[in-house]
Chains A and B, each alone.
Chain A
Amino acid sequence: MNIEFTATDFWVLKPAVMLCLFGCGILLTDFLLEARQKIWNAFTALVGLAFTGYVLGQQATYLRTEGRAELVGLGGAVTIDGFGIFFNWVFLIATALAVIISTRYLEIEQEHHGEYYSLLLFAQTGMFFLATGTELVTLFIGLELMALSFYVMVGFLRGDKRSNEAAIKYLLLGAFSSGMLAYGFSLLYGIANSTRLPEIAAAVAARDPRDPMVFLALATTSVGLFFKIAAAPFHMWAPDAYEGAPTTITAYLSVASKAASFAFLLRIFQGPFESVRPTWEPLVGAVALLTMTIGNLAALSQTNIKRLLAYSSISHAGYILLGLVSGNQTGMKGIAVYILVYAFMNFGAFTMVVAMRNKNIIGDDIDDLSGLIFRRPIYAVSMLVFLLSLAGIPPTAGFLGKYYIFLSLIETRHYYLAVFAVLYVAVAAYYYFRIVKVMFASEAPEEGEITDGMGIKLALAVSAVFTLLIGLYPEPFLQLAQRSLFAALR
C-alpha cells in the first residue's frame, strides 16, 4: 500500500485543512480580543468558510472540466465526488448561517466565547469527512469529531440547567450509538478484511445474503446510523437535545448534523450494503414509516416551538429515508433536493426562534410569536414561507423535495408508503398552522419587543429567498442535485 503523502492527497483534503486552520486560528486570536470584540471571531469564521467555499468550488470545477467522476486521495480514505461536494455545500451554508445568527444570541446569553466559532468549524471538518470519507476509520473519526463538537455546543450555556441536561443526554445516547456503530464496523472489517468501502462492498456482495454475519453487521450499523439521523425508534434524544441546546445550535444541529449523518448513511447503505438491499429495504421502509408517524403525531401536541420543530425534523428524516427505500435515481435526487431545501427552511424557522430571544424572554413558546404580523410583518411572512415549505405546500421549495420522494415511491411501486407519506402531509400542516394561527390571528403581547441584529435579518432573508426561489425556479438547483448522484445512478 502506498503510504506516501502526495499532492493529490493534499488537494483532496484542502477544504478540511482550511476549516481546521481557521478553527485553530480563532482559538489563538481569541486571546487577543477584549470581551466586547468577540464579534471578530465570527468574521474570522466567515472568512474561513469563504476560503473553504472557494476550495470546494475549485474541486467541483476540476471534476467538471476534467470530466472525472471522482478524485480519490489518501489511499482510498477520502473520495471527492459530486455527492461529497454537494453535501459540503449544504454544510457550508448551514455553518455560515449559524455563524451570522449567533453573535447577538451569544451576547444575550452572555456566553460569547471564541471557542464557539471554532467548534462550529471543527464540527464542519467532521462533516467534511462524513460526506467524503470512503473508509471506515475515516468515517468514524469524522463522526466523532462532529459529535464531540456538538456535545460541547449543546451544553454551551453553562449556567442553564436545560442546556446541561441536554448535553449529557445527547452525550450518553450519542456514545451508545457510536458504540453500536463501531461494533458494526468491526464486523464489516471482519467480513472484508479491509476498511475501504469499495472492498467491503465487494466482500459483502460475494457472501450469501442470508449470512448471519452480514445481517448482524447490517443491524448494528443501521442502529447506529438511525440514532444519528434521529429516526424512530432511536429518536428519543432529539427533542430534549433540541430544546435544551442554545437555539442557534439547535438550528445547526437539526440541519447540518442531520445532513451529514444522511450523507454517511447513504455512503454505507449505497456502498457496502447495496447488495443486500432486499434485506434492508423493508426494514428501512418500516423505520421511515414509524419515524413519520411518531414525529408527526408527537408534534401535534407540543407547545414549545423548539420541541415542535424537533419532532417535525424527525418526521422529515422519515421522508428522506423513503428516498433511500426507493433507491432509484429519482429517490436519490429527491434526497439531495430535500436536504438542500430542508437546510434553508428549517434554518429559517429556527432563526425566527432565535430572533424572539430577548433579555427577559426565552421566546421558545409558540405563544411568544403571538401577533407577529403586527410587530414585524416581514418576519411573519417569512416564517409563513418556512412553515408552508416545511408542510410541503407549493410553490415553496418544500413541495419539490416531497414531490421527488413521492414520485420515487410510485416509480418503485411502494404505493402504501406513498399513501401514508402524503397523508402525513395533511397531519403536519395542522401543527405548522398552529404557529401560523398564533402569528396572524392572535393579539400582540404588551411586551416582547424584538431586538434583533443584522445577522438575523440577513439569515432570515437568505433562507426565505432561497425557500421561495427553489420553489419557483428550481431548475439550477435540480441540476446541482443531478450532479450529486453517485456515478452508478447517473
Chain B
Amino acid sequence: MQNYLLSIVLFTPLAGMIALLFFPKENKTLIKVWTNLVMFVGFLVSVPLWFYYDRSSAEFQLVERAEWIPSIGARYIIGIDGISLLLVLLTTVIGFLSVLSSWSAIEDRVKEYYAFFLLLQTGMLGVFMSLDFFLFYVFWEVMLVPMYFIIGVWGGPRKLYAAIKFFLYTLFGSVLMLLGILALYFHYYTQFGTYTFEIAELMRMSIPLSLQKWVFWGFFVGFAIKVPMFPFHTWLPDAHVEAPTAGSVILAGVLLKMGTYGFVRFSLPLLPDASKDSTTIQVIAWLSIIGIVYGALVSLMQKDWKKLVAYSSVSHLGFCTLGIIALNPNGLSGSILQQINHGISTGMLFLIVGIAYERRHTREISEYGGLSNVMPAYSVVFAIAMLSSAGLPLLNGFIGEFTILQGAFEVSKTWAAFAVSGIVLGAAYLLWLYQRTMFGPITNSKNEKLSDLNLREWAYMLPLVVWAFWIGVYPKPYFEILEKPVAKIVKRIQPDYYRARGLRDPLPAPVPVAAARPTP
C-alpha cells in the first residue's frame, strides 16, 4: 500500500472522473455527491503522506518508477520531498474545498464541470509529483485544457477571451520551456551516451554556463508566466475575474504555485551556476519587487472586488519569487511556506467573494457596504482571511512574509526595504476593502436581506481558517519538513553557504549529487 501511495493519491481523481462519465447527466445531485466524495477520498488518502514522510532526509521519498517510453528514456517516476509534500497537501485540500464550494454555484452542465475538475486535479498533483521531465511536461500541459474549459464555459461575461488568453500565455511559456528541457536532455546524451529525462540523473551533468543561461531563461519564461511575474501577469486579472469561484480558487491557490515550484524544483538545482549569476539575481529580484509594489498599487484602485483579490496575487507571488532568488534557507523556505499561505488566504478571499456573488450577482465593491450588520459570521471569516493575507502576526501570512524578508534582508537591504512597502500597501488595500464592504450602515437596500453563512459554506471555510491559525501559531512542523530539502538546494547552489557563515549545517554529509559531478 505504502509503495503505491503516491499513485493512489495521483489517480484517485482521474478514476473518479472516468466513473463519472458513466453517470446520467440529468442526475445532478448524484454527480455532485460523487465528485465531492472522490475529492474527499482524494484528500484522505493524501493525509498519510504527512505521517510517512521522513523529515530527517533530504531525498525524494515514496518514489515509484516504471518504464514508460524506453526509446526516448521517459519513465513514470513520481516521488516527493518536503517541498512537494506541502504543495500536494495544499492541492488535495484546496481541490476538495473548491469542489464543495461549487455545489450551488454551478447549475449548468454539471457533469462536464465536475469531470473537468477531477481531470484538473490529477494534472496538478502530477506536476508536483513528477520526477521525470517528460512526465512533468505532460502533466503541466494536461491541466491547461480543463482549466480552459472551466474558465471558458462557466465563467463570467468575458470568459472566452479570458480562457484563450490564459491558455495561449501558458502554452507560449511552456513550449519555450520544452526547448530548454530538450536542450538539457540532449546535453545529457552527449555527456553520458544515454537518453533520460530523470531529474536526479540530469543533475549529474556538468553544464557549461552559457548553456545553463539559455536554458534558465527558457525555463524562466515558462515559469514566470505561470507565477505570474511582472510583466507576464496580464493574463491573470482576466482569468481570475472571469473564472467561476472554484476556478479562481484553484487558479490562485494551486496553479500559480506551479511556476514557483518550477523555479525551486528545476531551475535552481539543475542550473545552479545560472541561478547565482548576478544578472539573473538582479533581474528576478527587481521584477519581483516591481510585482510586489505594482500589484499592491493596482489593487488599491480596483472597483471590482474579485479583481482586487486577483491583483493582490501578483503582489503576494512577488514575495514568493523574491524569497526564491534570495537563494538562502530563509528565503527559500519562507517562499515555499508563503506559497501555501497564499493558497490558504487568497483561496479564502476568493471564496468570500464567491459567497457574496452568489447572493447578489455583482462584484462591484460600491454595491456592498455594511454587510457585517446582516452577515456577522461572514464578516468574521472575511476578517480572518483578510488579516491572514495582510500578514498579521498569529496568522499564516505573517510567518511566510517575515521569513522571506529575513532572507531578502540577508542579501540586500534595499530589496527588503522595497518589499516591506508591499506589506504596508497590502494592509492598506485589504483593510480599505474590508471597510467599504463590511462596515458602516447598509447603503444598498438589496443587501438588507442577505443570509449569513450556511452549513456548507462553514464547512469549506472553517478548515482554511483553522489551517491559517495553525501555520500562524505553530509553524514549526512546516519548517521541519522544509529544512532538509531546502538545505539541499542551497548547498547545490552555494556549497559552502553554511560553513562560511558558521551555521549548523542541516546536511553534514556532502550532498551526493553535488559531489559526484563527473568531468565530461
Contact of A422 among B71, B138, B168, B175 (CB under 8 A): B175
- Does A430 lie within 8 Å of B168, measured CB to CB? yes
- Does A430 lie within 8 Å of B178, measured CB to CB? no
A433 contacts which chain B residues (CB < 8 A)? 148, 164, 167
Given contacts A395-B138, A475-B71, A478-B71, contact A437 B152 (CB under 8 A): yes
- Does B153 lie within 8 Å of A394, measured CB to CB? no
- Does A394 lie within 8 Å of B142, measured CB to CB? yes
Smallest CB–CB gap between B400 and chain A, Å? 33
Smallest CB–CB gap between A129 and chain B, Å? 31
A441 contacts which chain B residues (CB < 8 A)? 152-153, 159-160
- Does B141 lie within 8 Å of A406, measured CB to CB? no
Given contacts A437-B152, A440-B152, A475-B70, contact A418 B179 (CB under 8 A): yes
B465 within 8 A of A: no
Q: Please tell me which stretch of B180-188, B235-243, B406-414 contacts chain A, meaning at least 4 of its Cβ atoms lie within 8 angstroms of it.
A: B180-188
Smallest CB–CB gap between A433 and chain B, Å? 6
- Does B69 lie within 8 Å of A423, measured CB to CB? no
B128 within 8 A of A: no
- Does B164 lie within 8 Å of A406, measured CB to CB? no
B183 contacts which chain A residues (CB < 8 A)? 410
A441 to B163, CA, bound (A): 11
A474 to B134, CA, bound (A): 13
- Does B171 lie within 8 Å of A426, measured CB to CB? yes
B172 within 8 A of A: yes
Given contacts A410-B186, A437-B152, contact A426 B142 (CB under 8 A): no
- Does B138 lie within 8 Å of A410, measured CB to CB? no
Given contacts A407-B185, A440-B153, contact A394 B141 (CB under 8 A): yes
- Does A437 lie within 8 Å of B71, measured CB to CB? no
B64 within 8 A of A: no
Which of chain A's residues 392-406 have a Cβ closer than 8 Å to chain B? 393-395, 399, 403, 406
B178 contacts which chain A residues (CB < 8 A)? 403, 406, 422
Smallest CB–CB gap between A23 and chain B, Å? 37
Contact of A388 among B145, B176, B182 (CB under 8 A): B145
Smallest CB–CB gap between B356 and chain A, Å? 26
Which of chain A's residues 446-490 have a Cβ closer than 8 Å to chain B? 474-475, 478-479, 482
- Does A422 lie within 8 Å of B160, measured CB to CB? no
B250 within 8 A of A: no
A74 within 8 A of B: no
- Does A426 lie within 8 Å of B185, measured CB to CB? no
A300 contacts which chain B residues (CB < 8 A)? none
A425 within 8 A of B: yes
Judged by DSSP, the binding face of A is helix
- Does B71 lie within 8 Å of A479, measured CB to CB? yes
A107 within 8 A of B: no
Task: Write the B349-368 contact mask toward A (1 if CB under 8 angstroms, else 0).
Answer: 00000000000000000000
Smallest CB–CB gap between B235 and chain A, Å? 13
Smallest CB–CB gap between B392 and chain A, Å? 41
A305 within 8 A of B: no
A388 to B143, CA, bound (A): 13
Given contacts A393-B141, A393-B144, A478-B72, contact A426 B179 (CB under 8 A): no
A475 to B171, CA, bound (A): 26
A474 contacts which chain B residues (CB < 8 A)? 69, 71
- Does A423 lie within 8 Å of B172, measured CB to CB? yes
Closest chain B residue to A418, Cβ basis: B179
A436 contacts which chain B residues (CB < 8 A)? 148
A373 contacts which chain B residues (CB < 8 A)? 112
- Does B179 lie within 8 Å of A419, measured CB to CB? yes
A60 contacts which chain B residues (CB < 8 A)? none
Contact of B149 among A393, A425, A430, A440 (CB under 8 A): A440
- Does B160 lie within 8 Å of A429, measured CB to CB? no
Contact of B171 among A395, A403, A429, A437 (CB under 8 A): A429
- Does A425 lie within 8 Å of B145, measured CB to CB? no
B137 within 8 A of A: yes
Smallest CB–CB gap between A449 and chain B, Å? 20
A411 within 8 A of B: yes
A384 contacts which chain B residues (CB < 8 A)? 145
Smallest CB–CB gap between B66 and chain A, Å? 12
Q: Name which of A384, A423, A441 has the most chain B CB atoms within 10 A of its CB.
A: A441
- Does B179 lie within 8 Å of A406, measured CB to CB? yes
Contact of B186 among A395, A399, A407, A429 (CB under 8 A): A407
A433 to B72, CA, bound (A): 29
Which of chain B's residues 46-69 have a Cβ closer than 8 Å to chain A? 69
Closest chain B residue to A419, Cβ basis: B179
Closest chain A residue to B138, Cβ basis: A394
- Does B168 lie within 8 Å of A407, measured CB to CB? no
Task: Write the B10-31 contact mask toward A (1 if CB under 8 angstroms, else 0).
Answer: 0000000000000000000000
Given contacts A406-B178, A419-B179, contact A393 B172 (CB under 8 A): no
B137 contacts which chain A residues (CB < 8 A)? 394
Closest chain A residue to B112, Cβ basis: A373
Task: Write the B156-173 contact mask toward A (1 if CB under 8 angstroms, else 0).
Answer: 000110001001100110
B153 contacts which chain A residues (CB < 8 A)? 440-441
Which of chain A's residues 28-74 have a Cβ closer than 8 Å to chain B? none
Closest chain B residue to A388, Cβ basis: B145
- Does B164 lie within 8 Å of A430, measured CB to CB? yes
- Does A410 lie within 8 Å of B71, measured CB to CB? no
Smallest CB–CB gap between A233 and chain B, Å? 26
Q: List 6 A-B contacts (CB under 8 A).
A: A394-B138, A410-B186, A423-B176, A433-B148, A433-B164, A475-B70
Sorted nearest first, the 4 A-B pairs with minimum C-beta distance are A422-B175, A426-B172, A394-B138, A478-B71
